[in-house]
Structure 1
């Protein structure tokens, strides 16, 4: 029976793995990998242990060994909650997937929910919700919205920024723990779980009380960078927006070209031309763009693009 949990289930094996982690943190990933290999001899079905071995081998410059470990993770089956497939993409061993690693993203944000606001805003200088709200204020200062749909709402940071300008505010996210944190802010009339990678009717965005074309504003702040191929998301946005409605969103900037790529941080970056082509194909006219620093990552500024687009009739 494969074990996804962080513990191997054996005290001595866990202790050896802890020593491996300390070696890696002290700058000796090669020794960490050797110790982790010994731990896995005692717990050969420990999925997260194999993933950690892949990371140590990767940091030690052992590409082939890292690929072997990540393939071992995938070989156990299951939902790939650790993102082993994305690791293989970055190592050049797999093609960029059309479908996002939804289980990895869900686990990532479930684990991050309790410390998300403090860690991201204070430590990483994250301000995308505020920047997107400022773009709206600048480009559509007189607009008040009957219904705003916040896609990938997370803990509700964009909801707080837009609350004073909307009568009804709905938030949707893949992570139930993020939704619980958003509920504590008490700014949403409706919160629900949704998967933006699924087809329209299966996404969770529509139902008996959630009609099509109900929104005159859709926001997506710092969510599209976890999806890669955005054609399905733009189909959802087209179905959500009423004619004349606005779509305000951010992407990480891929620079030139006309597509998207997976970055070292396991997030996707999208080119401006790629996003513009999707807008044109989904009745959205780009009204404004703005280059911006989205956050810090490893001490470096993450460059992005803010978009405001309007749906034609």
Structure 2
């Protein structure tokens, strides 16, 4: 949250908060924080106001006060739609969590859906769909019976794969993003799904793709185990991550996106039953004028020679599920 996007419900408090924002934008971070703290006496249950107060105090170097504000925001909104728990972890006021709150991810992309394509492609030079499509082509994969697009968003990856897929379905946590994807007519089926709790059941596909998704998942053990279940023997998994060059498996960055080490990916893919086809570094987007270095990964599901004759792909009906 970088502005007072959510109203307090009190006109006077909103006006004072707007003035605090003007002070903040002018570089008067401490004064802005003091004014917003006073404002919150009028609206003490305004979770978004407490969250923003934490950001202002952080910018002013008041980390103890920032932690107090984010703790209060989290108390008022236990689902943590604003991501206060992540901010607490980043300043060392709490243990860093290995997965973002699902409500935070859903709220983030619901708010972002209407401007997602324009902002990401035109302003941030987003390249992941084309990089993944090229990596698949380099692997000699040009046609698929059934594609599963995890975290499909508005359908940018689906647009790249539609010509090569007999059937393509997308899963995403954001209902608003799915509505944008549905309007494009790219997918045969769309499903509202939190990847943190994704249970594939009898879903099978010869390509599972996750474009710029795992940075909002965190620890990947569960989702890669699910992908291994979905992938038919010899099927492909293709995804991107933000690259972390340090010794830890993954880290939460100030952007509140996770970055993953190559060693972590290699070890986890092997443990999940995948053979790596390629791992290539690439600039995946721009952020504040700087390129974000990522990894484009393609892996193949290992073939069990004893049961290969039993493996089939069930072609689903070509119909689009209506979104509520």
The TM-score range, normalised by the shorter chain, is over 0.9
- How many Å apart are 1:243 and its aligned residue? 0.4
CA displacement 1:13-37 (0-9 Å, x = unmatched): 1100001111112221111101101
Residue of structure 2 aligned with 1:224, choices 192, 214, 219: 214
- How many Å apart are 1:256 and its aligned residue? 3.2
CA displacement 1:137-168 (0-9 Å, x = unmatched): 11224x31000000000000000001111100
Question: What is the alpha-carbon distance in structure 2 between the residues aligned to residue 183 and residue 199 of structure 1?
Answer: 21
Match of 1:89 in 2: 89
- How many Å apart are 1:71 and its aligned residue? 0.6
Aligned counterparts, 1:141-152, within 5 A = 141=141, 143-152=142-151
Q: How many residues align?
A: 300
Match of 1:113 in 2: 113
- Against the structure 1 CA distance between its residues 5 and 306, is the aligned structure 2 distance closer, same or farther, given a 3 Å change threshold? closer
Unaligned runs of 5+ residues in structure 1 are: none
Contact 2:86-2:100 at 8 Å conserved across structures: no
Match of 1:123 in 2: 123
Question: What is the alpha-carbon distance in structure 2 between the residues aligned to residue 34 and residue 116 of structure 1?
Answer: 34
Match of 1:284 in 2: 274
- How many Å apart are 1:77 and its aligned residue? 4.2
Q: Which runs of 4+ in 1 moved over 2 A?
A: none
Please state if 1:184 is matched with 2:174. no
- How many Å apart are 1:5 and its aligned residue? 8.3
Residue of structure 2 aligned with 1:254, choices 236, 244, 259: 244
Contact 1:258-1:272 at 8 Å conserved across structures: no
Unaligned runs of 5+ residues in structure 2 are: 304-324
Match of 1:263 in 2: 253
Question: What is the alpha-carbon distance in structure 1 between the residues aligned to residue 260 and residue 79 of structure 2?
Answer: 25
Match of 1:44 in 2: 44
Question: What is the alpha-carbon distance in structure 2 between the residues aligned to residue 11 and residue 77 of structure 1?
Answer: 22
- How many Å apart are 1:228 and its aligned residue? 1.1
Match of 1:159 in 2: 158
Please state if 1:12 is matched with 2:12. yes
TM-score normalised to structure 1 length: 0.93
Match of 1:56 in 2: 56
Give secondary structure in 1 for the equivalent of 2:120.
helix
Question: What is the alpha-carbon distance in structure 1 between the residues aligned to residue 5 and residue 295 of structure 2?
Answer: 37
TM-score normalised to structure 2 length: 0.90
Match of 2:321 in 1: none
- How many Å apart are 1:290 and its aligned residue? 0.8
Give secondary structure in 2 for the equivalent of 1:97.
coil
CA displacement 1:162-197 (0-9 Å, x = unmatched): 111110000110000000000111110000011111
CA displacement 1:35-92 (0-9 Å, x = unmatched): 1011101111111110010010001111111011001111224310000000001101
